[in-house]
Amino acid sequence: MQNKTAILLIGSPKPFKSSSENIGKLLLGYLAKEGFATDIEHIGMAIREGAVDKVIHKVNNSDITIISTPLFVDSIPAPLISFLELYQNDKQKTNKKLIGIVNSGFPESFQNDTAIEVLRLFSIHNDFYWAGGFTIGCGGAFGSMDLHKSKMVKHIAESFQEAAICLSKGDTILKEVLEKASKPIMSTFIYVFFGQLGWYLQSIKYHNQFNLKARPYAK
Amino acid sequence: MKVLVLNGLNPNQPESNRFKDIVNSSFGLNSSGFEMVDLHTKKIHKCRGCFDCWVRTPGECFVKDDSQHICNLIINCNLLVFLTPIVYGGYSSYLKIMLDRIIPLISPFFVKYKGEIHHKPRYNKYPALLGLGIQSYASSDEVKSFKQIIYRNSLNLHSPFFHAETFMNTDDEASVKNTMIDIILRMEDLNYAE
């Protein structure tokens, strides 16, 4: 019997080491353990290289499509919207599932809900079966770190593992499994404190630590 | 009242020019200082997600293109209008490529605002926000999603007021125009005139 297939579409404009790629690969890895043949595509690169049709063909031939993307201004980034605008369902394969993973730099995972809703509405309009959306906050805390070794994201790894088992059985992802991944990675106070410190430290590299409040367009 | 319309309509869709003309005539006649930017004619690169606009060149994107001029217009207007087809409950890529580039207008630092963590304002004042979404097929879920995104944008942009209105692309000119004029009058009542 032919293996079931899963493709990960990365919506981050960063070509390497993005949080979206890192977190998406975590779920894809668990699907591979469940026997899925897996593939990865970067949407930004596909658009730049004129390979959108190739990616659409792959999506249309996959049993599961995972879209992992950062939150950009309360929605998905523009290149990913371009891809969704260009997408054509060839309707040859039925019962295709779509999963969304949205991560953001806000500590509250619910701030990603609007972006997940865009992905859900895309799936409904294009005859995918919406298998569920993961909303993950504190994206700045895990970045490109090894998620298998991190205790901080243990609950996300467990959630993805349980999701992969659901999907391998042909089921949708349980609500409690989705909710487990949305739990805070750390306290809001600690995340905000280290976040603020991080911006200062980064600005020192450019000698801008006293210029962070600049208002170049003020009249 | 300074009104800035970011036109994110797809120039290849037949109804785009009709809606652009309606918005032009509704706002043009009722607001002094009205400007519409046709985003599809502008050179705007996609946001790289590098955050250089917060730490390397604070307040301004490091990548030079038309987005700097548009950011300048945004922060100095009273009413910012997003004109877009509704794409799966969100904005078109024509509009979103510019909106992804507005983060230099806010600060990297966090603040608790309306019970949630948001970025601090960089400027003393921000424009009110109006979303005008055009549907090519009826979907109440997509309307709800569009309105929710406008609301979330208003929080993150520290807008003093927001409103979202949706239309079907088949709606007749007179009814669309009447709705828009109603909105403009309501906005003016809120005393955003300089």
Nearest to B49 among A12, A216, A218 (CB): A12
pLDDT at residue B194 in the model: 44
Cβ of A78 and B59 within 8 Å? Answer: no
Are A8 and A68 in contact by the 8 Å Cβ rule? The answer is yes
Flag whether pLDDT at B190 surpasses 70: no
Quick one: pLDDT band at residue B191, thresholds 50, 70, 90? low
In a domain, residue B116? The reply is yes
Nearest to B55 among A73, A122, A202 (CB): A202
Q: Name the minimum distance, in Å, from the CA of B95 to any CA of chain A.
A: 8
pLDDT at residue B193 in the model: 45
- Best residue in B13, B63, B93, B158 to probe A by mutation, most A CBs within 10 Å? B93
What are the CA-CA distances from residue A119 to residues A197, B78, B113, B181 (Å)?
33, 32, 27, 33
In a domain, residue B88? The reply is yes
Give the number of domains in chain B.
Answer: 1
Are A30 and A63 in contact by the 8 Å Cβ rule? The answer is no
pLDDT mean over A27-52: 96
Q: Is B78 on the interface with A (CB under 8 A)?
A: no
Q: Is the dihedral of CA A88, A93, A97, A99 positive or negative?
A: negative
- List the single residue in B with minimal CA-CA distance to A126: B88
This model of the complex carries an ipTM of 0.95
Write the pLDDT tens digit of every residue in A143-192.
888 888 888 899 999 999 999 999 999 888 999 999 999 999 999 999 99
Where residue B60 sits, what CATH number does that domain have? 3.40.50.360
- Best residue in A117, A119, A187, A203 to probe B by mutation, most B CBs within 10 Å? A117
Residues of B in contact with A219 (CB under 8 A): 76
Residues of B in contact with A107 (CB under 8 A): 117
Write the pLDDT tens digit of every residue in A41-77.
999 999 999 999 999 999 999 999 999 999 999 999 9
Distance CA B19, CA B14 (A): 10
Quick one: pLDDT band at residue A79, thresholds 50, 70, 90? very high
Nearest to B88 among A77, A106, A118 (CB): A118
Pairing of strands B79-85, B106-113: unpaired
pLDDT at residue A22 in the model: 94
Flag whether pLDDT at B40 surpasses 50: yes
Domain with B78 in it: 3-189
Percent of chain A clearing pLDDT 90 (strictly above): 83
Please, is A163 exposed, middle or buried when counting C-beta atoms within 10 Å of its C-beta (0-12, 13-18, 19+)?
buried
- Best residue in B88, B97, B103, B157 to probe A by mutation, most A CBs within 10 Å? B88
In a domain, residue B194? The reply is no
pLDDT mean over A25-37: 96
Distance CA A126, CA A83 (A): 13
Flag whether pLDDT at A16 surpasses 90: no
A179 — phi, psi (to 5°)? -65, -35
The CA-based angle B113-A185-B117, given to 5 degrees, is: 5
pLDDT at residue B152 in the model: 98
pLDDT mean over B74-99: 97
Quick one: pLDDT band at residue B147, thresholds 50, 70, 90? very high
Write the pLDDT tens digit of every residue in A95-151.
899 999 999 999 999 999 999 999 999 999 999 999 999 999 998 888 888 888 888
The CA-based angle A102-A104-A108, given to 5 degrees, is: 100
Q: Which residues of A17-51 are buried (b: 16+ CB within 10 A; e: fewer)?
A: ebbbbbbbbbbbbbbeebebebbebbbbebbeeeb
Count of CB atoms within 10 A of residue A212's CB?
18
Q: Is A140 on the interface with B (CB under 8 A)?
A: no
Tokens (6 digits) for A190: 């600690």
Nearest to A75 among B56, B59, B90 (CB): B90
Flag whether pLDDT at A81 surpasses 70: yes
Quick one: pLDDT band at residue A17, thresholds 50, 70, 90? confident
pLDDT at residue B33 in the model: 86
Q: Is the pTM of this model over 0.90?
A: yes
Residues of B in contact with A118 (CB under 8 A): 87-90, 145
In a domain, residue B103? The reply is yes
Q: Is A74 on the interface with B (CB under 8 A)?
A: yes
Q: Is B12 on the interface with A (CB under 8 A)?
A: no
Distance CA A48, CA B153 (A): 28
pLDDT mean over B137-146: 97
Residue predicted with more confidence, B155 or B186: B155
